[in-house]
Amino acid sequence: MKKTIALLTGGTTGEWVVSVKSAATIAQNIDTSKYEVYKIMLTENGWFYEPADSVKIEVDKNDFSLNIKGKKIVFDGVFIVIHGSPGEDGKLQGYFDMIGIPYTTCNALTSSITMNKGYTKAIVDGIKNLNIAKSLQLFKENYSVDEVKTQLKLPLFIKPNNGGSSIGMSKVKHFDDLQTALDKAFNEDTQVLVEEFVEGREFSIGVFKTKGKIVVLPTTEVKTKNEFFDFDAKYTPGVTDEITPGDMTAEEKARVEQIVADVYVKLNCRGIVRIDYFLEHNTGKFFFIEINTIPGQTATSFIPQQVAAMGMKLQDFYTQVLEETI
């Protein structure tokens, strides 16, 4: 018997377009012999299902159901594909927990914590072979530029603590540019992470669980023509080379796979996550950047690339994710 799945997309942030494109990839690759899929669009004006042959049908938020031509549709589970808030920060997960519907992502607590880069780094600090760049977490109401200048060395990365897609992020090479970068980041969030730059090669790697076993996908090496892997580099064709699988030695590959599996366990992850990291030049040390608990699933996103490099069909991949979480 088919399970009824809500594919929840949209959102209210600047990552709306990526969420919609990700949902399209998933919808095209879900096994329709096992799952009946309803794409639900979350917008600032409401939550809607829009059939091809009729007007929008609003979701009943009391139990997350639909009424279609007098028939009530209830869901066995939800595939959440909303990047940023409210899909990636735990808000939707808390709602589904309260009404008792399973979903494909990390739980509300893990989702909420991992949206905060500073809190996440504090938790994973101490994992064997994992290094963290020296940093300061600043709060908009009370921070000191002088503290940054005295405690950290240039160059610096300035990041909104709860943001995604590198929106509001800057690289600072001169302290004269620090305040402008902080203002840009604080325009996106009330907390900002300032961290020392790590000179190294950048990678991104997917992790998921199937049949109770953690599986690490082949990594993607990121080589961008921009100063760093910013929003433009992520979403503008031709700006960045993405090499899957990335070039690592056998020792680096084994070490990275163990570290990211340990991160997955330490943060109590579920579903698909993506972990970004540097391998420092000269030393080869692993430096944790961040974790994405709802990584992009567009046709050109890292995860589909890595699934293909593993020799797996996307349909089989999404089936394994659904079977593990719903």
Whether residue 15 lies in the annotated active site: yes
Whole-number Cα distances in Å, 272 to 10, 119, 191, 196, 276: 18, 20, 26, 29, 14
Q: Which of 15, 88, 202, 221 is catalytic?
A: 15
State the pairing for strand pair 57-58/46-49: antiparallel
Strand-pairing partners, residue 71, are 68
Q: Where are the beta strands (DSSP E) in the chain?
A: 3-10, 35-43, 46-49, 57-58, 66-68, 71-73, 77-80, 130-131, 135-139, 156-160, 170-172, 191-196, 200-210, 213-216, 220-224, 240-243, 273-280, 286-292
| Greatest Cα pair distance in the chain | 67
Whole-number Cα distances in Å, 51 to 23, 47, 57, 65, 262: 16, 13, 8, 15, 42
Q: Which of 22, 135, 165, 204 is catalytic?
A: 165
Is 276 annotated to bind ligand?
yes
Is 162 annotated to bind ligand?
no
User: What CA–CA distance (Å, rounded) separates 79 from 297?
Assistant: 12
Is 226 annotated to bind ligand?
no
Whether residue 33 lies in the annotated active site: no
Q: Which of 19, 111, 112, 301 is catalytic?
A: 301
Residues contributing to the annotated binding site: 276, 290, 292
Known binding-site positions for Mg(2+): 276, 290, 292
Positions marked catalytic = 15, 165, 301
